[in-house]
Chains A and B, each alone.
Chain A
Amino acid sequence: MAMNETAFRAIQNRRRFLREVGGGLGMLGLGHLMGREGRAATGPLAPKKPHFPAKAKNVIFMFMEGAPSQMDLFDPKPELQKISGQTLPESLTSQLRLAFIKKDAKVLASPRVFRKYGQSGIEFSDYIPNIASCADDLCLVRSMYTEAFNHHPGQLLLFTGSIQIGRPTLGAWSLYGLGSESENLPGFVVLTSGVGTSGGASNFSSGFLPSHYQGTLLRNAGDPILYLSNPGGVTPGAQRSTLDAVRDLNQEHLGDTGDMEIASRIQNYELAYRMQTAAPELADLSKEPAHIREMYGVDDPVTKQFGTNCLLARRMVERGVRFVMMMDASWDQHTNLNKGLKRNCDRTEKPAAALIKDLKQRGLLDSTLVVWGGEFGRTPMVEIRNTSDPDNAGRDHHPLAYSMFLAGGGIKPGTVVGKTDDIGFNIVEDKVHVHDLQATIMHCLGFDHLKLTYRHMGRDFRLTDTAGEVVKKMLA
């Protein structure tokens, strides 16, 4: 069977074209072919415009995994002192779903001392004085709620909008919507501290979105990015020569096959090579001045891990990383609340505050949305696993009311949104579902959450599932 001559000539022309452009002119020519060298001008990670002008360009999400206790940190409930040790009325608890304790568990008052901070006069507990000192920059939401009352489902709902596993996460949606501004770092980076989380990789998965959108873990030890450094014996020069040879042979083959997928692969090898320089440069904190290192506590063994992550987060925002997610675990104080919560605060609250202040002094806070919080809250009732040791008291999971705070890009500073009842059990004003939080984050990034969709299994999916309303009171 002979081929149609016109068709055959067209292929030959195509080959010649690609060989000339690709092979003849080298990377310069190929660069033109693919847009600006480095950043993906086309392709899935090319920067994209949102639906409307955005306040925030970047997001830093400090995920405090396990559910920090809101009535010991953010939501003072002096009323609990009066009914401490009593059982709550059945009318209140009848619909409550608890993980471990029973509905007749006794009320546990918070031993924390709260006071007002800043001009806004927002109250915070004595465990978080540094975060409190940012009061006038924060929007404290005391009326968060969710449906999930176990960790992994709760984390899925918070990050993917659904308890069903397998949907894309907040960071993946952000990258899908906005693309990446970074020329040589991944657009969605994950930092971890403490122990592993319940959700693991499902908290930064791209779900059914293409895998370019999944979070890349910046590792605490060894290579900051997996497989970043050259194998032993491969010098930087040898690596470059290898890449040149790979590129030339790939270009040759691009000429033969005409498959633009190869052009994309060449581009990705170049990006990988630049990452090899950029990521160690990012992770090298030695050039940060002493006062900044002190501010984040990177040299203090207690704050070192989280402080390093916070400082890295700022450096990533400076370098155009779209979404930084910190996962700190675990805040799941079923037992030893007073000790455990204090330890967590001591490890993290100074660096978290430093991050907000540092972003602000560099003029980055306006364009960076900072979020701090967990997947649900904790009960006003006590959980005791060892009756012979009163110090071991803790609190169970409480999805009906909890607190989170936000700051920066598009968020109203020095505000409190929402109110809970006297014992912090139910919300009485301005309920904010995690879907509403997601809608609001998307809004700050310039998206109508109803319209940022992806077609999968025959229907358009979105982050907020079938719900979500932008919380106007949170917006500047």
Chain B
Amino acid sequence: MRGVLWTWAAVSAATCAMAQAQPDFARDVQPLLARKCVMCHNEKMAQNGLRFDDGDAALAGSYSGPVIVAGKAADSKLIARVSSTKKGFMMPPAGAPLAAAEIATLTAWIDAGAPWPRTAKATSAARPKTTHWAFQPITRPEPPDTRNRTWGRNPIDRFVLARLEAENIVPSPEASKTTLIRRATLDLTGLPPTPAEVKDFLSDSRPDAYERIVDRLLQSPHYGEQRARQWLDLARYADSDGYEKDVVRPYAWRWRNYVIDSFNKDQPFDQFTIEQLAGDLLPNAGQEQLVATGFHRNSLTNREGGVDRAENRFDQMSNRTATTGTVWLGLTVGCAQCHDHKYDPIKQKDYYALYAFFNRAEEIDIDAPLPGEMGTWMRARPAYLERRAHLLKVYDVERLQDEWEQRMLAAANNLGQDLEWDFERSAVLTMFDRFEAILRTPKEKRDPKDHERMTYWFINHPGPTKGREVIALESIRTDCRRRLNALDAEHPKLTQSLAMMELPQPPETHIAVKGDYREPGVKVEPDAPGFLPPLSAGAPRNRLTLARWLVAKENPLTARVAVNRLWQDVFGRGLVRTSEDFGTQGDKPSHPELLDWLASQFRDDGWSVKRTMRLILTSATYRQTSTVRKELQDIDPENALLARSPRVRLAAESVRDAALEASGLLNPAIGGPSVHPPQPAGVAELGYADSIKWTNDEGAARYRRGLYIHFQRTTPYPMLMNFDTPDSNVACARRRRSNSPLQALNLLNDPAFFEASQAFALRLARESKPDERLDYAFSLALSRKPTARERERMQKFLDQQATELSAHPDQARQLLPLAPAEAAWVSAARVLLNLDEFITRE
């Protein structure tokens, strides 16, 4: 009966189609498509990659695949969509739907083979053209002539001055020497200069005394820390996974070490790029090249119970794609995840072509020992293995683990049969990414480390007791676990690193239709965006090729984007203000020729960040005073023309570092694991189910630089957040600089800053004579002497505090265990460390 009905329906449809005269494409179909479809599906705006203004394109289909199956209207999505009345599915999505006759026309046309006569048309195979400035090749403009020929010190100044002269503005005078050394030291190291450094500079009358300061600072190991801080923002670096569980990443810092070292040895930016995106693919890749790939391990990981692992992977790949777009291309590539970019020529297909490079890679944790670790580890290894084997034998671990693995495998193969094992499996799976892959590898073929990991997971998650050897399992849970963990704890550690590796059999990449990973569309190959220069022909389509393409001479974006950020980090504002967006919605450069000159200089002079920084810092433009010029307030409120140097509040980390340095508390150690300076109770408790633990470090670790503070994504260190450290979920190319009452409370009352005030006072007592103390205090905090008015005001304050404290010796003792007159200096230090000038680069 059913068959009969079906036949009847088919016959009936066929009859209907035949009843109508064969539609003529030009007369019936094309006008219909033009009226109803082409508005959104054309060459300029091809929604979901689909076009109805071109036969080949229309028949090729959309990102979701073909929409017209020639000869089979019933199988054609086009007919299904125009016939539907379901909101969100029907086409066209708005306006009058197609009339029944119109649908019949399309149906008949498709059933007749969807003939689309070829007409002469422009070949669309050529790469799309764009006139947007940032996508044009980088030029090498001649520095322009200026009327004033004495002001400039290097080519930068000619570009800046020419622009100022065009506006009839004169530059500001050169800043004082004390301002200059403080400014350069803060900009290059993130720390204020010491009084001795200031004194030396003031007494150095050589004509190149300032250049010598810049050169010294570029050699400081703190230079690498300061540059790294900005790179960490871009890399969305954090010490935890993010999302609900926000599990700590105990070795994330290993990649941070690589970044600091790279900047300190002035590793060329092209090599720096290649190593971080594709270090694992370099021929003869060494340990540091593998560590470098940790750049993309900074993306978030969602380990929430019940999470869809495919979705988590998709989110990670998307994060990596968007981050790469921001960091190297200065483009909002992420906008094309769900649809073609609304403003820039980035097609959704381009997005997934970039995504495809990262989709070929997998996460891997590697040993990345620091110097000295390996020997200790190797010496301890045999004894450790022996004791471990003994323990495993005592508790019969091998047999019990085999059984556990079989149960886990059974659960994986028969989901839903045993709820408790299902639950156990998914608990392990969320925390241990490669669990299932290892589980399915026979024991004898496993990497020994992988097998060790399996044992670790068995011992810590031995599974439900029901139907198993209760006593044996109980001893696994208690004695065995305790003894093994103790053994592991005393075994010397090899530092690990989070890295990437190319998959031997990479998965295909499909466009995710509307950005939904559950709806795979057409397949895409790894490729560069169509509007940019092509990848080098014949090169394998992998991350190494992508990285080399990013730093190729022809790439119009990378050098501009990178050099603009260096400029931004010094001037508080990029030549392109929107340093994260060089697309059509971003700002145009304030000095386009200067940007190109700097970009070409950077690229052609070996991608040296240090030489570029030196060029900028030794310019006359940089050396101007930062005094606000009222007459320019209306013409140039943001100081884009650079008629003065900017005043810029220090970054969060530097606010802390400056207080530690001025007070003499700073622990200047470079690199290493993240630290936990004291944090008020209640902060970590904001994290999921009170699972985030924060144990205050004691001793010298409390006084490390802000760069090293453990960054827990869901409960970040409050002082950092008060001063605008980014949340480290996506790449941040440009920090905000807010000014808030919470910052005031933080500097006034945070025990860490109060401790700095106390130490500051002790340092004054230790290092200066009473009559020089105020001068010394100013030089420690502000690198300069007080003015007469400041001296008068501070003296008044000190006298008042000393009187007050002498009357209340108890309070004085709480401030400082010295005489009340000395304790008054704690109050004075608090004043200095709270000044706007103290936390500002002037």
**Inter-chain contact B740/A252, CB cutoff 8 Å:** no
**Inter-chain contact B173/A275, CB cutoff 8 Å:** no
- Residues on A with C-beta less than 8 A from B300 are 165
Pick from B741, B749, B750: contact of A271, CB below 8 A. Answer: B741
**Inter-chain contact A330/B342, CB cutoff 8 Å:** no
Pick from A3, A150, A222, A260: contact of B302, CB below 8 A. Answer: A150
Task: Decide yes or no: A249 and B691 within 8 Å by CB, A221-B682, A227-B749, A231-B754 being known contacts.
Answer: no
CB of B286 within 8 A of chain A?
A: no
**Inter-chain contact A329/B689, CB cutoff 8 Å:** yes
Pick from A7, A100, A242, A388: contact of B827, CB below 8 A. Answer: A242
In the assembled complex, the Cα of A14 lies from the Cα of B794 at a distance in Å of 25
- Residues on B with C-beta less than 8 A from A13 are 630
Nearest-Cβ distance from residue B169 to partner chain A, whole angstroms: 8
In the assembled complex, the Cα of A186 lies from the Cα of B745 at a distance in Å of 12
In the assembled complex, the Cα of A313 lies from the Cα of B652 at a distance in Å of 31
CB of B479 within 8 A of chain A?
A: no
Which residue of A has the minimal Cβ distance to B712? A200
Q: Pick out which of these stretches binds chain B: A211-219, A280-288, A316-324, A433-441.
A: A211-219
Nearest-Cβ distance from residue B682 to partner chain A, whole angstroms: 5
- Residues on A with C-beta less than 8 A from B745 are 225-228, 272, 275-276
- Residues on B with C-beta less than 8 A from A266 are 836
**Inter-chain contact B682/A268, CB cutoff 8 Å:** no
Task: Decide yes or no: A212 and B172 within 8 Å by CB, A1-B150, A195-B689 being known contacts.
Answer: no
In the assembled complex, the Cα of A107 lies from the Cα of B616 at a distance in Å of 70
- Residues on B with C-beta less than 8 A from A99 are 305-307
**Inter-chain contact A458/B302, CB cutoff 8 Å:** no
Which residue of B has the minimal Cβ distance to A274? B741
- Residues on A with C-beta less than 8 A from B626 are 257, 259
- Interfacial residues of chain A within 195-214, with CB under 8 A of chain B in the complex: 195-202, 205, 207, 210-212, 214
Task: Decide yes or no: A245 and B305 within 8 Å by CB, A231-B749, A233-B813, A268-B740 being known contacts.
Answer: no
In the assembled complex, the Cα of A227 lies from the Cα of B752 at a distance in Å of 10
In the assembled complex, the Cα of A246 lies from the Cα of B748 at a distance in Å of 11
**Inter-chain contact B811/A211, CB cutoff 8 Å:** no
**Inter-chain contact B749/A200, CB cutoff 8 Å:** no
In the assembled complex, the Cα of A139 lies from the Cα of B691 at a distance in Å of 36
- Interfacial residues of chain B within 741-761, with CB under 8 A of chain A in the complex: 741-746, 748-751, 754
Interface readout for B620-633 with A: 1 if CB under 8 Å, 0 if not?
A: 00000011111100
**Inter-chain contact A150/B306, CB cutoff 8 Å:** yes
CB of A292 within 8 A of chain B?
A: no
- Residues on B with C-beta less than 8 A from A10 are 629-631
**Inter-chain contact A385/B420, CB cutoff 8 Å:** yes
CB of A291 within 8 A of chain B?
A: no
**Inter-chain contact B307/A11, CB cutoff 8 Å:** no
**Inter-chain contact A151/B244, CB cutoff 8 Å:** yes
**Inter-chain contact A198/B244, CB cutoff 8 Å:** yes
CB of B580 within 8 A of chain A?
A: yes
**Inter-chain contact B686/A196, CB cutoff 8 Å:** yes
CB of A237 within 8 A of chain B?
A: yes
- Residues on B with C-beta less than 8 A from A330 are 689
- Interfacial residues of chain B within 409-424, with CB under 8 A of chain A in the complex: 415-416, 419-420, 422-423
Pick from A235, A237, A385: contact of B419, CB below 8 A. Answer: A385
Nearest-Cβ distance from residue B464 to partner chain A, whole angstroms: 8
Interface readout for A128-153 with B: 1 if CB under 8 Å, 0 if not?
A: 00000000000000000000011111
**Inter-chain contact A458/B585, CB cutoff 8 Å:** yes
**Inter-chain contact A211/B738, CB cutoff 8 Å:** yes
Interface readout for B170-205 with A: 1 if CB under 8 Å, 0 if not?
A: 111100000000000000000000000000000000
A-B Cβ contacts below 8 A, count: 282
In the assembled complex, the Cα of A7 lies from the Cα of B170 at a distance in Å of 8
**Inter-chain contact B304/A151, CB cutoff 8 Å:** yes
Task: Decide yes or no: A252 and B789 within 8 Å by CB, A4-B170, A202-B727, A458-B332 being known contacts.
Answer: yes
**Inter-chain contact A210/B811, CB cutoff 8 Å:** no
Task: Decide yes or no: A196 and B647 within 8 Å by CB, A99-B306, A100-B423, A227-B749 being known contacts.
Answer: no
**Inter-chain contact B680/A226, CB cutoff 8 Å:** yes
Task: Decide yes or no: A459 and B342 within 8 Å by CB, A100-B423, A196-B690, A228-B749 being known contacts.
Answer: yes
- Residues on B with C-beta less than 8 A from A151 are 244, 304
- Interfacial residues of chain A within 1-35, with CB under 8 A of chain B in the complex: 1, 3-4, 6-7, 10-11, 13-14
- Residues on B with C-beta less than 8 A from A238 are 801, 804, 811, 827
- Interfacial residues of chain B within 665-700, with CB under 8 A of chain A in the complex: 680-683, 685-692
Which residue of A has the minimal Cβ distance to B715? A200
- Interfacial residues of chain B within 711-729, with CB under 8 A of chain A in the complex: 714-716, 718, 721-722, 724, 727, 729
In the assembled complex, the Cα of A384 lies from the Cα of B418 at a distance in Å of 11
- Interfacial residues of chain A within 418-460, with CB under 8 A of chain B in the complex: 457-459
In the assembled complex, the Cα of A197 lies from the Cα of B738 at a distance in Å of 27
CB of B790 within 8 A of chain A?
A: yes
In the assembled complex, the Cα of A226 lies from the Cα of B591 at a distance in Å of 43
With most chain B CB atoms within 10 A of its CB, the pick from A11, A199, A246, A397 is A246
Interface size class of A (residues with CB under 8 A): 35 or more
CB of A414 within 8 A of chain B?
A: no
Pick from A205, A230, A386: contact of B749, CB below 8 A. Answer: A230
**Inter-chain contact A1/B687, CB cutoff 8 Å:** no
Nearest-Cβ distance from residue A107 to partner chain B, whole angstroms: 16
**Inter-chain contact A197/B730, CB cutoff 8 Å:** no
In the assembled complex, the Cα of A104 lies from the Cα of B415 at a distance in Å of 11
With most chain A CB atoms within 10 A of its CB, the pick from B173, B300, B686, B827 is B686
**Inter-chain contact A196/B419, CB cutoff 8 Å:** no
Nearest-Cβ distance from residue B380 to partner chain A, whole angstroms: 38
Pick from A104, A197, A256, A258: contact of B686, CB below 8 A. Answer: A197
- Interfacial residues of chain A within 394-420, with CB under 8 A of chain B in the complex: 396-397
Pick from B169, B683, B691, B811: contact of A235, CB below 8 A. Answer: B811
Pick from B689, B739, B751: contact of A264, CB below 8 A. Answer: B739
Which residue of A has the minimal Cβ distance to B823? A233
**Inter-chain contact B744/A198, CB cutoff 8 Å:** no
CB of A265 within 8 A of chain B?
A: yes
Task: Decide yes or no: A249 and B630 within 8 Å by CB, A152-B304, A165-B242, A385-B423 being known contacts.
Answer: no
Pick from B580, B628, B836: contact of A457, CB below 8 A. Answer: B580
CB of B797 within 8 A of chain A?
A: yes
- Interfacial residues of chain A within 71-121, with CB under 8 A of chain B in the complex: 97-100, 102, 104
CB of A253 within 8 A of chain B?
A: yes
With most chain B CB atoms within 10 A of its CB, the pick from A202, A216, A232, A385 is A202
**Inter-chain contact A459/B741, CB cutoff 8 Å:** no
Nearest-Cβ distance from residue A85 to partner chain B, whole angstroms: 15
CB of B653 within 8 A of chain A?
A: no
- Residues on B with C-beta less than 8 A from A459 are 332, 335, 342-343, 585
- Interfacial residues of chain A within 361-401, with CB under 8 A of chain B in the complex: 384-388, 396-397
Pick from B304, B716, B740, B790: contact of A201, CB below 8 A. Answer: B716
Q: List 7 A-B contacts (CB under 8 A).
A: A166-B729, A196-B715, A198-B243, A211-B721, A233-B814, A253-B837, A330-B689
Q: Which of A's residues lie within 8 Å of B, judged by CB?
A: 1, 3-4, 6-7, 10-11, 13-14, 44, 97-100, 102, 104, 149-153, 165-166, 186, 192, 195-202, 205, 207, 210-212, 214, 216-217, 219-223, 225-235, 237-239, 241-246, 248-250, 252-253, 256-262, 264-266, 268-269, 271-273, 275-276, 329-330, 384-388, 396-397, 457-459
Nearest first, the 7 closest Cβ-Cβ pairs linking A and B are A99-B306, A233-B814, A458-B585, A200-B714, A258-B628, A272-B744, A198-B244
Supply 13 further A-B pairs (C-beta < 8 A) apart from A195-B689, A234-B827, A272-B748. A10-B629, A153-B243, A166-B729, A195-B685, A196-B689, A198-B243, A212-B738, A219-B682, A242-B748, A244-B797, A250-B836, A253-B837, A458-B581
Q: Which of B's residues lie within 8 Å of A, judged by CB?
A: 148, 150-151, 169-173, 242-244, 246, 300, 302, 304-308, 332, 334-335, 342-344, 415-416, 419-420, 422-423, 426, 466, 578, 580-581, 583-586, 626-631, 647, 649, 680-683, 685-692, 714-716, 718, 721-722, 724, 727, 729-730, 736, 738-746, 748-751, 754, 787, 789-790, 793-794, 797, 800-801, 804, 808, 811-815, 823, 827, 830-831, 834-837, 840, 842
